[in-house]
Chain A
Amino acid sequence: MAALVRLAIVPVNPELPDRVFAPAPAYLVSREKIREFSRAVFSRNAINLDPSAARAAGFADVVAPPTFAVVVQEATLAQLLAEPDAGIDFSRVVHGEQNFHYTRPIVAGDELTATLRVLSVKTLGGNAMVASESHIVDAQGAHVVTATSTLVVRGDDA
């Protein structure tokens, strides 16, 4: 298996920075997905779990925890990994850094659209670091959150 992986290695395309991908299909945020995700990250916060508590706090429905945006971002990272000329071998990818920058929290009922832009490709110690940001907007086109990831593509460590 290791030999097959090594044969598949191609360097990450240095021309990727500033490439903007087509918007990913809209993601409709459901109440139950937020509740499921909230339980999975050990949330005890009533606004994540209880619609009446969320409404009492001024929200239309349950509020997503801060890292929920990764679920919406994921489709755009899949686009990046599948890009034929990107040269990113998924089997060698490790998550290096992650950031979320919010204009407002995600709330159940939101219909979100994410668009990925490659920020940079750097080589460090034989590894390639691919930074990208996914700009996530609501159905009105207003910014909700930007999710930024650095993926580390491990070099041939043989």
Chain B
Amino acid sequence: MSDLIPAGLAVGDVVANTQIVLTRDSLVRYAGASGDFNPIHYRDDVALSVGLPGVIAHGMLTMGVAVQPVLDWLSPRGRVVDYGVRFTRPVVVDPEPGATLQIRAVVAVIDEATGEARIDLTVTFAEKTVLAKAQVRVSFT
């Protein structure tokens, strides 16, 4: 069964380490694609009225983009079977220059018997963690 896991893959391997820039355009595009039209994601006045420093990214947008570097590495050899995050801090997206997310993905667990691995994500914005317990379980079966 151990031939399911790609040869040489080891716990601690960094499978992705990259940046993604979210802009106001990204937020409007995600609002339309997802159907989440909460105005805190495109109107500063509404965001300020509820105590935010300004327009923030949809948590689900941050979650959605954070897993892409893992998929770039994974596809087409494997697929995601479980993905979970905890939202710890809002990502404030100023009109200029937007918000740069730093995404780092590390192999945390390899299960040879099931052909699965757990990839842990570290996602930061302005050097602070925005997604905690961000874990992607991938299957190579």
A residues apposed to B, CB below 8 Å: 1, 33, 36-37, 39-45, 47, 57, 65-67, 70-71, 74, 91, 94-102, 105, 148
Contacts and interface: CB of A to CB of B under 8 A. Distances in A.
Contacts of B59: 95, 98
A105 B79 CA distance: 8
Interface string B96-126: 0000000000000000000000000000000
B33 interface: yes
Contacts of B83: 66-67, 99-100
A115 B92 CA distance: 33
Given A40-B34, A101-B81, A102-B81, A70 B60 contact: yes
A91 B83 CA distance: 27
A91 B86 contact: no
B86 A96 contact: yes
Contact of B72 (A39, A44, A66, A99): A44
A57 B79 CA distance: 12
A100 B64 contact: no
B81 to A, nearest CB: 5
B128 interface: no
User: Which 10 A-B residue pairs are closest in the complex by CB-CB distance?
Assistant: A99-B84, A41-B64, A40-B33, A67-B64, A40-B30, A95-B59, A66-B80, A37-B33, A36-B33, A97-B86
Nearest to B27: A40
Contacts of B61: 40-41
Interface string B68-85: 100110011001111111
Chain A interface, DSSP helix/strand/loop, else mixed:
mixed
B64 A65 contact: yes
Interface residues of B, number: 34
B68 A102 contact: no
A45 B36 contact: no
Contact of A36 (B32, B63, B67): B32
A76 to B, nearest CB: 13
Given A43-B68, A71-B34, A97 B85 contact: yes
Given A97-B133, A101-B81, A102-B80, 19 more contacts: A36-B33, A41-B30, A42-B65, A44-B68, A44-B72, A65-B67, A66-B83, A66-B136, A67-B83, A74-B35, A74-B36, A94-B87, A95-B59, A97-B85, A98-B63, A99-B83, A100-B80, A100-B83, A100-B84
A49 B85 CA distance: 25
A98 B84 contact: yes
Contacts of A43: 68, 71
Contacts of B63: 67, 98
Contacts of B68: 41-45, 65
